[in-house]
Amino acid sequence: MTTNTALMAGKRGLIMGLANDKSIAWGIAQALNDQGAQLAISYQNEALEKRVQPLAAQLDKEALLIKCDVSDSASVENCFKELGEKWGKIDFVVHAIAFSDKNQLKGRTIDTTRDNFKMTMEISCFSFLEACKYASPLMNEGGAIVTLTYMGSERVLPNYNIMGVAKAALEASVRYAAMDLGKQGVRVNAISAGPIKTLAASGIGDFRKILHWNELNAPLRRNVTQEEVGMAALGLLSACGTGITGEVVHVDCGYHIQGMLNLDNVAATAEMLKD
């Protein structure tokens, strides 16, 4: 049977973590928009509001823009309160937020300070649990939540450091939140994306080499795109994903399955590492 109905027709939800047109959140926003969803977009601060406004203007349905700084619980509570007042119920939430002190995304993980540990865990993990908490009374049955993670949670990668620890906690949080919200028919999943050149990534030294390494060694021999992460999120948030919850889906061109660097490309890999 075929239908012409868009996958997200009549669905409304919140996107958290949109900074600019390179953001993974923008890839997801576009995929949802293209399938008929109406979006609310939260932004961290006034500086980002200016970047988010012109993006929101490109969407087919008028977007709701709400400030939400996840380091402040009152701001998170207020964001969902406003969403509840304006729309009543929602069908999905996308959480695409992470932050750590840039100076500690190098050197030894064991040298992470207590303050940066707390901050990294709060912004990158607790904010997800808190968003689930405030979203839960607003979520329609059949609704879904997606967050973004990275393979540094499962295996050690140079310099990902305490972010890897926070992503491990985030992935465990997805499983616990899936159990909590499953009772009300709400699904919770994570997408483990391969490296993509976003604002958060461009702050990382050697990111170009990380991208090239993945391109040479992933089964698909290329890097994943923002659009592909958007399509995977659409799958998890739409009727395509109704049997999936508590899962971490890798959208990384298969990189995570590899157990040894690709011998066809040893020379190219070595060459790439020179400059």
Cα distance between residue 95 and residue 135, in whole Å: 11
111 close to 104: Cβ distance less than 8 angstroms: yes
132-151 positions binding ligand NAD, by CB under 6 A:
148-150
Residue 96's binding partner, choosing from ligand NAD, ligand 0WE, none, with beta-carbon cut-off 5 to 8 A by kind? ligand NAD
For residue 60, the tally of other CB atoms under 10 A from its CB is 11
Per DSSP, the residues of 208-237 read HHHHHHHHHHSTTSS---HHHHHHHHHHHH
Residue 24's binding partner, choosing from ligand 0WE, ligand NAD, none, with beta-carbon cut-off 5 to 8 A by kind? ligand NAD
Tell me the residue type at 84: G
Interface with ligand NAD: number of residues (CB under 6 A):
27
Cα distance between residue 213 and residue 75, in whole Å: 39
Chain centroid to Cα 164, Å, comes to: 14
Residue 28's binding partner, choosing from ligand NAD, ligand 0WE, none, with beta-carbon cut-off 5 to 8 A by kind? none
Question: Catalytic site residues?
Answer: 150, 160
Distances (CA, A) of 61 to 58, 65, 184, 232: 9, 12, 28, 22
Nearest CA to 146 among 97, 199, 198? 97
Distances (CA, A) of 152 to 51, 52, 74, 193, 256: 29, 29, 31, 11, 10
Tell me the residue type at 242: T
- Local structure of 46: helix, strand or coil: helix
Closest CB 71 distance from ligand NAD, rounded Å: 4
Closest CB 27 distance from ligand NAD, rounded Å: 8
Binding marks (x or -) toward ligand 0WE, 148..177, rule CB under 6 A? --x------x-xx--x--------------
Cα distance between residue 161 and residue 111, in whole Å: 10
Which is nearer to ligand NAD, 8 or 15 (by Cβ)? 15
Binding flag, residue 30, ligand 0WE (CB under 6 A) = no
DSSP state of 7: T
Binding flag, residue 199, ligand NAD (CB under 6 A) = yes
| Span interacting with ligand NAD, options 66-74, 107-115, 212-220, 260-268, rule CB under 6 A | 66-74
Binding flag, residue 100, ligand NAD (CB under 6 A) = no
| Span interacting with ligand 0WE, options 2-10, 181-189, 203-211, 239-247, rule CB under 6 A | 203-211
Which member of 196, 232, 236, 248 binds ligand NAD (CB under 6 A)?
A: 196
Cα distance between residue 5 and residue 85, in whole Å: 28
Binding flag, residue 69, ligand NAD (CB under 6 A) = yes
The residue assigned the tokens 């119920």 is 89
Which member of 23, 104, 238, 269 binds ligand NAD (CB under 6 A)?
A: 23
Using CB under 6 A as the criterion, which residues of the chain lie in contact with ligand NAD when the complex forms?
17-19, 23-25, 44, 48, 68-71, 96-99, 123, 148-150, 193, 195-196, 198-201
Using CB under 6 A as the criterion, which residues of the chain lie in contact with ligand 0WE when the complex forms?
98-100, 102, 105, 150, 157, 159-160, 163, 195, 200-201, 203-204, 210
